[in-house]
Structures are given as structure tokens and as C-alpha cells.
Structure 1
């Protein structure tokens, strides 16, 4: 697919009682979006019509019953179910979670069959999606099972990228999860991702320490000295431009993150707190390391504002843009790999040290 062609963007509806419907519809209320992508919303026409009426929108959607009926440059709604569904904005319900998973599973199936080009997921509630047939802590773990590769949660914005060694792991269990094998796997994944998906020729990777002050020479923990440092040394000896571990408390306030193409945090909040402080509302969650491209906004279901028509849809729109850019960049990389004499990838926003 060339850059001039229309990218088919599959969209899972997320929690029906959250803000997913609003941010999706308001994103595509701008007709210019259809000039470079074709949205395919995995839901039902009845439900989407209800949302359109509720939010007082005038956009038109095209109901289809199978991916082979997708109409380019139209807002397609693929009927994953046809029965009516009661919507209770702002309420956590098992029913809403069940329909969120129906939508997600249908979208992933279409993605695996290349009936859509990329997947953008609206927010789900990690509690009400749990069932006997779906017992994943979130999108990432499910996608890691369904799509080839080793997933890595990568938060991206115009000026910052933060990846995670561990994502949805309880704090008390983090240190036991961080092994030399895990670190090497994640660093190799992010290095490959930055090259093929972002066009960075020689990625510069910063890694944050696990303990306060990197353990203060073992006074506050020894994982940084016994696990992180020797593993990073080994990766450097094998040609990776990886630096650290850095003490996390001053790394962002000092602006040091600007010197790197990506920052790798040891655990969820160590990376997500600074990211959402610096980029909230404009950031995107990208699942790196998989065979297909998946992005999502950097926020949750936002039950507190659901149904009120005031949700900020900028992060979701950025998730659409990012999915398309990454898809095109990966296609370009694959073409260059077949003919390496054509073009070399360019560096990103990081400064040289």
C-alpha cells in the first residue's frame, strides 16, 4: 500500500458506558479525516446511531455485516451484534465489558486477516472485561497472545517516548520480574521498533533504575548493580546505544530525557506519571513489537464525564494519526530492506550528546 492510498483503520468501541463513542465520533466529525483513512468501527449500527443522536451530531455512518463490504472513505460500522443494548453512561457494568470484548475480538480477527490495516482501541475497563473466556489485565497482554512478536507498552508524543520493562504488574512483584533476559528482550524490541516504525537509524536508549538513587550502592536495594548494570553493559558491547541506569527522580525534571530517542522505565507508574504530566491529552499508547500496528489514547473510560459531550478527543485523534504514520513507516522500512541502496532512515528528535 503506497502512502497515497487510504489506510483502513479498525476501531474497537471500548466500554459502551465510557467516552469511547464520543471521542470516536467527534474525531470523524471532521470530514478531512476521510481523505487519508477509512474508519471501520466494530460495534453495531443501532448503538452508533443512538450515540450520534445523543451527542447531537450530523455525521453519517455506513452499516456493514462483513469486512469485505467496507466502503473506502466512508465511516463504516461493522455489525458485531445486532440486538439492542441499554447504555448507562458512567456506570461500570459487566454487560458493557462483554460488548467491549466482542468488539475487540472481532477487530483483532479482521486485523490478523489483513482486512484492516491498523487497530485503534477505545478505552476499556480492566475490571468489567474479566470473564471465563477473557482473563487478561488489558489490551496489551491479549494482543501479545493474538499477534506475533513480543509486546512492549510504548507511550509516544511529539517530544517524548517512554517504554516499560514491566507494565501491569503489582509493585510488590516488579523486582522479581526484572531479569537479565527480560531487559535484553525489551531493549531489543524497542531498538527494532525505533528503527522500523520510527525511522531512527541508531536509537539512543535511556534506562531508568529500579530503586531510589539506583540503590545508593546497595543501601536501598541491589537490583540496579546486580541486574541492570551488567545487562546494559552487555547490550552496549553488542552495539546497542543504551545508557543508564539513571536515577528516575531527577531524570525528567532536569530535561535529560530530551537527549534520547526513548526512555525505558522499570515499572508502570515510573514511566506513566512523567509521561502523563508532560504529554497528557496529546499522548498515544503504542503496542510495539507486534506483527500489526495497534494504538490507543493515553486515558481511560472517564466515567465521570461520559455522555456529557465534553470529552477531549485529541488523544484519540493522535492515536489515529500515529497508527497511520507507523504503518506507513514500517511499509517503507520493509521496502528499503528489500533494496537497501534506496534510502537511509533519518534520526528523530533527540539531541546528540
Structure 2
């Protein structure tokens, strides 16, 4: 039986990944900065809270990282931790860089120090690419990040590549494009849209305020994307992979789809608020997942319209229902 350590298990990806690994027979341990105080609501929502072991770990503290790795003795580590909001990274650039870049470096250095055959998955991001002039990005596309979050993720990516080459560590980065689910908190625009549309459908008279709805994104379904993370660590050699649907849609299309699914005209309920525009924005973000299909056998089954449908359906469930996803 393998043991997996998921750093950032309280988030969307961490919870779905824990569910997947438990189904595969893993012993799953997860970390957060304060495991005694964290609610782990996503694990509870999936009905797996009592099936995972939880540890407190500060990724920016090397001693803390080393202690937990020594205690858990994992076969695989999935690094999903760190400040996860692009918008918030403009307000908290130092915390964003430290939590992502320093945290990743501490994991790599701890693995090197322990000298054990631990495999590491690192959560990369499509934000590393910046604007690609409408062209789908693949593993050879240069990084030109346009946010502190993107800069931090690019830094972590190259740390992983360096340790892989210099020390022979099995470390892989998944360059994931946008992926959503009912577990997204409402500070993410997709969940904000779904939740607001549902409240309006239930009788609320509120207005949904959004920033630039012309931006285009490659939106996928989060439970599928964690399968790609797992597959990367099962390969004979470590490598980096773009994970995406290969299709881009405007945010306006996402809004229209969400409201239409509730029999609403989005234009009657949405206002564009220029104060919500970011200092720098990516106009078009789209991935080319051909390598993942070729080498991992992974291909997205759900695109943006499916994602909206799943999120709306989850929001309409009775209280207490779980959003468990059955993996193939």
C-alpha cells in the first residue's frame, strides 16, 4: 500500500485527489498550516474526512516540512498548497511568492536531504504562459506571466526542473489550465457566477458585478484533472505536462450558459464593473494537451458547458448531499 502526502488537501484539487487516491487503495495524509483549526469542509462534503490523516505543516518553514516528511514517510507528494488566487496575488505578492516558490523549494530540498525515492507532483499553472496571442500553449511555449501568481508558479516550475536535472529527483509539474467544480470557493469568479445566478433564480433581486467578460479561458472539470496528476507520478520517467481541454470560451459565454440553465437572461442581471479589472490581464488562455493524451492516455471528457451544468446541478442538491465523483 502506497502512502501519499497531499499538501493543500483542504482545497478543491486536494479533496478530489484524496478521493481518487483512497479509491486506489492509498493511505492518504494531508496537510494544512493548522490542521487543528482548519474546517476541511471539502473533505467533509465528499464524505472522506474520516478516511485521511491530517498534519499541520508550514511549507515556508523547512524544519516543519522535514518533520512531516520524516513522520509520514510518503511514497508520493502532491504539492497543491500556496496562495491560489490570481486576483489576490496583486494585493499579496510577497505571500504569494513565498507560499508557492519557497514552499516548493523546501519540499524539493527535504526530498534531497532524506535521500529517499519520493516522487513529487508540483501544481503548475497556465498563468505562467501569459498571453499567447490566441495560440494554444504546449510544453514548449515560453513563459511570460502577467500576475504575481503567474511569476510565483513559473519560479516553482523551474525549481522542479532544476532539482530533477541536478539531483535525479522524480519531480513532475502539471501545467493546469482553469478547472472548476462545486468545491470552488466563491472568491473564484466561476463559483461567484453560479451562486449568484442560483440566488436570483430563487427570488433574489441582486445584481452580479463582473470585471472583463471578454477574456477567454480553457475551462475543465476538476475531478478529471486530478487523475492527470496521479498519472504523472506513475510514469517511468518524470516530465511536465499541459493539462487542458483544448477549447477556449469567453467569460461572457460562461455567464450566459449559467443563467440560461436557470431560465434567466443574464443581461438583465449582470453589470460590468471596471473596478474589478486586474492591473494586467490575459486576454486568451488555451492549452494544447496533445502530450498528455499521447504519453499519459489522458483526455478531458468535459468542456465549459458541461462544467456549468455540473456546478448548477450540485448547487441545486438538497443540503447535506455530497459531491462525490466516481473515478474510472
Please report the TM-score for the alignment, with normalisation by the length of structure 1. 0.35
Q: Choose between structure 1 and 2 for higher RCO, CA contacts under 8 A separated by at least 6 residues.
A: 1
Please report the TM-score for the alignment, with normalisation by the length of structure 2. 0.37
Which has the larger Rg? 1
